[in-house]
Amino acid sequence: MYALSQYPGAFFLDVGGNIGMWSLTAAAGGYQTITIEPFVENYKRICKSVDKNSFHDRVNLLSIAATAAPAMFRLEVPDRNKGGTRVVVVEEDETLGTKDTIHGIPIDSLNLPLDRPVVMKLDVEGHELQVLLGAKNFLQKSYIVYAMMELRPKLHQTPEWKQLFDVLVSKGLEPFRIDDDDATKLDVNNLAQWKHFKHPSVLYYDVIWRKPLFTGIA
C-alpha cells in the first residue's frame, strides 16, 4: 500500500477482490476502496470483515464482473483453488438460475472519480483484457498513478494489448515485471518478451505500472 501513501487523496480500485486481502489492508490504512468481486462467497467474506472492522465508510463493494460490454456470466470455481475462479460468458442456449449468473458491467459505466489519484489492482484469472477494454475511457480520463496486474504470455498476438498499454504510457506510467524481490523494466514495443522471468511456460506473471520517480515495488 506504499503507492497509496505517496499520493494524497488516492483511492484503491481492486478488480478481482477475492477474499479482500488488498482492499481490507487499504481500508485499514484509512484509504477509500472500490472493490469488484463477482464470487458470492468471497463477497460475503469481505462483507463480514467490513462489518467486523467498521470499514463501512471506506469500502465500496460491488458484486459484479468487470468486462468489456454488458453481459451475463457464470463462474467456474476450481475444487482445489477458489482463488482461480474465473468468469465464463453465458451462452444463449444455456439454462441457468438467477443465483448462478453474474452481471458483467464495464468499469467505464461506473462513474468512478476522475479527479483523485487512483491505485489499481487487476487479478481476474485471464479476463484482464476484457476488463481493461471496458475501462479504456476511465484509464484515459482518470489520474491513475500506479497499477498492478496479473498477466498471461503471448500478449503480442492480440493488438488490443498494445493499444491499452499505450494509454498507460500516456499517463506517465512505466511497466515493470516483478521478479521475486526485484523488478525488471519491460518494453511496451516488444510484448513478445513479456513472460515469467524464470519459467516462460508459466501461465501468469505480475506486472506493475508506476511513475518514473516511484521507488517502491508494492
Domain ranges of the chain: 2-210
Using one digit for the tens of pLDDT, what is the confidence trace for 12-43? 999 999 999 999 999 999 999 999 999 888 99
Which of 119, 114, 116 lies closest to 3 in space, CA to CA? 119
Beta bridge partners of 150: 206
The CA distance from 105 to 39, in Å, is 15
Quote the cell numbers at residue 178.
Answer: 516483478
The class of domain 2-210 in CATH terms is alpha beta
Q: Across residues 44-56, what is the average pLDDT?
A: 98
Quote the cell numbers at residue 218.
Answer: 508494492
Q: Interior CA angle at 212 toward 206 and 216, to 5°?
A: 55
The CA distance from 2 to 50, in Å, is 22
Confirm if 27 and 55 have CB atoms less than 8 A apart. Answer: yes
Tell me how crowded residue 30 is: count the other CB atoms within 10 A of its CB.
Answer: 11
Residue 178: per-residue pLDDT: 92
Residue 102: per-residue pLDDT: 86
- pLDDT tier for residue 214 given thresholds of 50, 70 and 90: low
The residue that leads in pLDDT, 152 or 140, is: 140
The CA distance from 104 to 135, in Å, is 13
